[in-house]
Structure 1
């Protein structure tokens, strides 16, 4: 992926960056990839929801893997100066939600992710599911 060029004041007004272009989004995606998260999906929420600009959904292989992914992201957010972020679901690690303001991260065990199917809410075709059946 090409690096994002810096925005200079003389360039005039800028269009919003494409999803996946912010430093925070890139840092989260990189950390999840480094930690072997599975089926990582980035969803652009700009114009769809006032709660956040982007949502990242990923799966861990087990309770322990989901917990480790969440822990590593919390450390990343602290390193980036985001302080204490909102976290839900850590005791069970079936579904952990991390709210970093501009980006919300959902971490699932695969069977829990398939059950809730939150990508469908935002009309995203996820690579970890087969093609939809014709009705």
Structure 2
């Protein structure tokens, strides 16, 4: 599956389960590990779990099983690695503490293309 289709699949899955403050980061010019990072918030550890389960289910149904899943089971940060797309699901306080959007935006890049593409706020 093409990375653009995969990022759309992930965003749609997150919106289905009411993820909060979805942010899409184009990190292709900053790292060779992945092309897109998606960061979203949940309202509770159960909500984070529901969000990750929905993304994993939709990705598997599309023929893209996750390469890794970390932090399930009551965690405040869940990571879903889908190869070209890495998803970070966090409680708002954890997200504020680690501030991944700023961290990735502040990294030096060889390319001056846009590092962050905002989505509508939820």
Shared fold per TM-score greater than 0.5: yes
1:23 and 2:27 equivalent? no
- The equivalent residue for 2:16 is 34
Given the superposition, is the C-alpha separation of residues 84 and 100 from structure 1 closer, same or farther in structure 2, using an over 3 Å criterion?
closer
Cα-to-partner distance string for 1:80-99 (whole Å, 9 max, x where unaligned): 11124300101233100000
Q: 1:13 is matched with which residue?
A: none
Give the structure with the higher percent helix: 2
TM-score by length of 1: 0.73
Superposed CA deviations along residues 33-76 of structure 1, whole A, max 9, x for unmatched, are 12110000000011111100000000001111001001111111
Gaps of 5+ in 1: 1-16, 128-135
TM-score, normalised via structure 2 length: 0.81
Q: Which protein, 1 or 2, shows the higher relative CO under an 8 Å CA cutoff with sep ≥ 6?
A: 2
Matched, 1:107 2:89: yes
CA RMSD for the aligned pairs?
2.0
Counterparts of 2:54 and 2:83, CA distance in 1: 17
State the 1:112 CA deviation.
Answer: 0.9
Structure having the higher strand fraction is 2
Structure 2: gaps of 5 or more residues: 106-115
The equivalent residue for 1:74 is 56
Superposed, which structure 2 residues align to 1:1-135 within 5 Å?
A: 22-123=4-105
Moved over 3 A (4+): 124-127
